[in-house]
């Protein structure tokens, strides 16, 4: 399999892979399988051509009881698989009971015994989570399942305070709904600084490469032209093929040209940024010269005089050699990029004398620097100061790539150019030190390499931490049902992570919660394309298909999920939704009960059963909804179902209470606000109900149910013109809805427009012939005589 890395990946990319590998194994050691799946997917998203990432991801999915997904990851064509893929394939086949296929895979491994397995096949030395943190996490998750929210929250917060990388603890907090701010849980960290020589100052912030911060501009920068469009605009459903391909011209989430790339854009930006800093440093040099030397660079006067006298002869020879090398250096200075190593000059400055006693580099500088130093030595007890003080070099040097960036121009304008000879260790954004760059005598090459490696490890850790913070922000927003913020945070992610199944599932759920069912369907189709054997979140997808009346697609999904794992609650919920869509309630209830038996903590199974009971037995429906709330106190669908049950029992106060509880959990749901308005209207407060309906329509202008209820209430308040506007809007958006046509005919009759009223009644008769008696009743009424809403609503 070809790798999707660019030609010049960031230098800390190997360290990033190692850090992911270490973190995932730590999660597996602690039996934190959800955390391991989360980080393994992030690792695999960086480079899907990396077999180590593929093997580790498959191993994690296998341990998380997802053998079909693990097998899908390693079941590659013969020319792309390795022995590691075959070994994991054998494990998956054995788990699934496909023993013959497992034996064939092992035989293939034996045929290629010379091949070395991936490092992910064996557990490396790993970091370990604090034992106390793991125990607090398990305690919190257990309390969550046992309906002990306060105790669970305390344990999960304690786990995150001990180690913020335990993703399961954060997801548990999100399910409780009381999540502190991200900055409080995961405080932002300052960018890492490379360790330098004791004679040098820390690298300036400008030299650091971009990281995946709030702007999403990591070194995996997406194309600005089409990044993240799936989060916002729906596309035709047929734009998504079955296999991983293009979603559409505006949908960059599943396009072949963006799969797992590490774009060159951000690397080029880093090069240009470093080059720009080098140019700025040469302009600021003259003003910085007046700063004087730093105390740590002071040397004794006697030592400076002795060295100055001993190096005069060496200065002439050094200058003549540098003069011969100057044309080549000039070209390098002008055209070398941040990622190129300058060509070695004729003179190696690695053995050049100290900066404070070094002869000048220009032909006329042999005496200039010495005379200036002799003059300055006469001021009291101050040590000798070179014409270019070392502190200036210390402040300027870390921002340049090599001495070739500004050496010539500085020598021409500053005759005493001694300070430009000595160079400090470079940051990650800079190229390796050239042979022409002298290192301080007390800073060896091994120390430089160790400092560079430590810096790159810190950059890798910083990348993982910032990436996790972005995911945490999006997850928290979705848990609080702030779908707009969730989409914004997901859009900030590096593009390779946006195309992962986890992110696409979040996109689908966010669109589902905002009742944008078309966009939600596209997102879930993308999830199925990326991971055809995924079980997680499929209960939401099946309910989405139920709302969209996709009978064939829902039936196919239910059969696939049942073949993948017949003991999963998601499969039986999908089967139950299929029967419910076909009005076979008894079979649907049987399937929902089976889902409850397989997973007693699945609140969704109890809620769907309650909705099936509403039309048959309100008491059983209330019991089902209460069982759902025992499993998940924040399951707003159960609160909504209880409100509906009490409303049908004419317990208006109880209905309003439960509707308001649901609206508090999901404040951006227009349907829930409309239900609260309906209960308030039944209580007799029409003005309060109208205000709630107006707020609901403002939240979701295209929600037909909320607008229809407002129109009916406006008719009851004798505001016929406003009601006609709402009903005409609904007629244009839903021309085949007979209830809308009935109400519009009624409104036209009440305002005295008999012609339009008759036209609407004729259309209603064609749409619903069985409503002929209702239509006749309306035609027999007087213009200002009202007909009950219940009589006009069909069904």
pLDDT of residue 126: 60
In a domain, 533, yes or no: no
Q: What CATH number corresponds to the domain at position 70?
A: 1.25.40.10
In a domain, 746, yes or no: no
Question: With pLDDT > 90 as the criterion, what percentage of the chain qualifies?
Answer: 47
Among the candidates 121, 145, 169, a domain finishes at 121
Express each pLDDT in 112-127 by its tens digit: 876 655 545 455 556 6
Residue 437: strand, helix, or coil: coil
Distance CA 259, CA 282 (A): 41
Mean of pLDDT values over 618-627: 96
Instruction: Compute the mean pLDDT over every residue in the chain, rounded to the nearest whole number.
Output: 74
Query: Which pLDDT band, with edges at 50, 70 and 90, does 441 fall under?
Result: low
Distance CA 577, CA 585 (A): 10
CA distances from 271 to 194, 200, 207 (A): 18, 23, 10
Report the number of distinct structural domains present in the chain. 2
- 404 and 327 in contact (C-beta within 8 Å)? no
- In this predicted structure, which of 122-136, 405-419, 555-569 has the lowest mean pLDDT? 405-419
- Structural domain range at position 75: 13-121
The end-to-end CA distance of the chain, in Å, is 58
pLDDT of residue 317: 52
pLDDT of residue 338: 40
pLDDT of residue 759: 87
In a domain, 377, yes or no: yes
In a domain, 705, yes or no: no
Helix then strand then coil, % of the chain, to nearest 5: 65, 0, 35
In a domain, 35, yes or no: yes
Residue 284: strand, helix, or coil: coil
In a domain, 263, yes or no: no
In a domain, 273, yes or no: yes
In a domain, 610, yes or no: no
Among the candidates 121, 144, 167, a domain finishes at 121
Distance CA 494, CA 212 (A): 7
The region that residue 188 occupies, defined by phi over 0 for left and psi between -120 and 50 for alpha, beta otherwise, is: beta
Query: Which pLDDT band, with edges at 50, 70 and 90, does 347 fall under?
Result: very low
Distance CA 482, CA 257 (A): 31
Among the candidates 401, 433, 465, a domain finishes at 433
Express each pLDDT in 545-595 by its tens digit: 999 999 999 999 999 999 999 999 999 999 999 999 999 999 999 999 999
- In this predicted structure, which of 301-315, 623-637, 662-676 has the lowest mean pLDDT? 301-315
Distance CA 138, CA 757 (A): 65
């Amino acid at each position: 399999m070809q790798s999707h890395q660019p030609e010049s990946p960031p230098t800390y990319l190997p360290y990033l892979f190692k850090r992911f590998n270490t973190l995932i194994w730590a999660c597996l050691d602690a039996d934190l399988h959800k955390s391991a799946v989360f980080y393994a997917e992030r690792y695999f998203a960086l480079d899907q051509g990396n077999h180590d990432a593929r093997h580790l991801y498959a191993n994690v999915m296998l341990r998380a009881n997802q053998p079909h997904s693990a097998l899908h990851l390693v079941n590659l064509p013969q020319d792309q698989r390795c022995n590691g893929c075959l070994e994991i394939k054998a494990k998956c086949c054995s788990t699934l009971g496909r023993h013959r296929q497992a034996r064939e895979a092992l035989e293939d491994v034996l045929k290629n015994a010379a091949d070395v397995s991936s490092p992910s096949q064996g557990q490396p030395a790993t970091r370990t989570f604090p034992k106390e943190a793991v125990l607090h996490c398990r305690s919190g998750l257990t309390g969550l399942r046992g309906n002990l929210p306060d105790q669970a929250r305390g344990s999960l917060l304690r786990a995150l305070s001990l180690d913020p990388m335990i993703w399961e603890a954060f997801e548990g907090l999100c399910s409780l709904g009381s999540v502190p701010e991200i900055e409080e849980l995961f405080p932002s960290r300052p960018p890492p600084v490379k360790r330098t020589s004791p004679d040098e100052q820390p690298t300036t912030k400008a030299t650091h490469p971009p990281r995946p911060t709030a702007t999403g501009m990591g070194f995996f920068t997406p194309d600005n032209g089409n990044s993240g469009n799936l989060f916002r605009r729906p596309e035709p459903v047929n734009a998504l093929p079955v296999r991983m391909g293009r979603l559409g011209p505006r949908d960059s989430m599943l396009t072949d040209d963006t799969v797992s790339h590490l774009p060159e854009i951000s690397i080029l930006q880093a090069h240009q940024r470093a080059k720009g800093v080098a140019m700025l440093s040469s302009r600021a040099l003259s003003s910085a010269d007046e700063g004087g030397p730093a105390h740590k660079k002071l040397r004794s006067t006697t030592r400076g005089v002795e060295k100055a006298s001993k190096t005069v002869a060496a200065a002439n020879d050094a200058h003549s050699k540098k003069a011969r090398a100057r044309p080549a250096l000039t070209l390098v200075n002008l055209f070398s990029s941040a990622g190129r190593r300058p060509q070695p000059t004729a003179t190696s400055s690695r053995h050049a004398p100290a900066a404070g006693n070094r002869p000048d580099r220009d032909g006329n500088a042999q005496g200039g620097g010495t005379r200036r130093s002799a003059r300055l030595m006469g001021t009291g007890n101050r040590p000798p100061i070179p014409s270019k003080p070392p502190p200036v070099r210390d402040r300027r040097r870390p921002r340049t790539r090599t001495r070739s960036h500004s050496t010539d121009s500085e020598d021409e304008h500053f005759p005493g150019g001694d300070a430009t000879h000595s160079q400090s260790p470079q940051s990650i954004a800079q190229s390796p030190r050239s042979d022409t760059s002298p290192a301080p005598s007390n800073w060896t090459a091994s120390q430089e390499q160790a400092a560079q490696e430590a810096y790159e490890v810190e950059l890798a850790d910083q990348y993982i931490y910032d990436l996790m913070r972005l995911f945490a922000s999006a997850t928290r927003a979705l848990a609080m049902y702030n779908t707009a913020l969730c989409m914004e945070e997901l859009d900030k992610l590096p593009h390779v992570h946006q195309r992962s199944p986890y992110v696409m599932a979040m996109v689908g759920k966010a669109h589902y919660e905002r009742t944008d069912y078309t966009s939600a369907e596209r997102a879930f189709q993308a999830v199925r394309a990326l991971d055809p054997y995924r079980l997680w979140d499929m209960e939401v997808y099946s309910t989405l298909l139920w709302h969209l009346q996709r009978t064939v697609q829902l039936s196919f999904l239910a059969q696939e999920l049942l073949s993948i794992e017949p003991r999963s609650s998601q499969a039986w919920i999908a089967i139950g939704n299929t029967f419910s869509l076909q009005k076979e309630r008894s079979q649907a209830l049987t399937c929902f009960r089976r889902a409850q038996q397989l997973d007693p903590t699945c609140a969704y199974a109890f809620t769907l059963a309650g909705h099936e009971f509403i039309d048959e037995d309100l008491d059983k429906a209330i019991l089902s909804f209460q069982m759902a709330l025992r499993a998940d106190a924040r399951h707003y669908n159960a609160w909504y179902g209880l409100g509906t049950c009490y409303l049908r029992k004419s317990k208006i106060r109880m209905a309003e209470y439960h509707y308001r509880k649901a609206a508090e959990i999901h404040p951006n749901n227009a349907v829930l606000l409309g239900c609260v308005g309906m209960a308030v209207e039944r209580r007799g407060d029409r003005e309060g109900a109208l205000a709630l309906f107006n707020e609901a329509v403002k939240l979701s202008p295209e929600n037909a149910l909320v607008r229809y209820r407002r129109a009916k209430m406006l008719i009851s308040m004798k505001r016929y013109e406003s009601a006609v506007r709402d009903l005409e809007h609904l007629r244009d958006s839903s021309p085949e809805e007979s209830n809308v046509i009935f109400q519009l005919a009624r409104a036209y009759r009440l305002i005295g427009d008999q012609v339009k009223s008759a036209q609407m009644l004729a259309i209603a008769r064609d749409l619903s012939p069985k409503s002929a008696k209702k239509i006749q009743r309306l035609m027999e009424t007087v213009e200002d005589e009202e007909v009950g809403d219940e009589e006009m609503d069909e069904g």
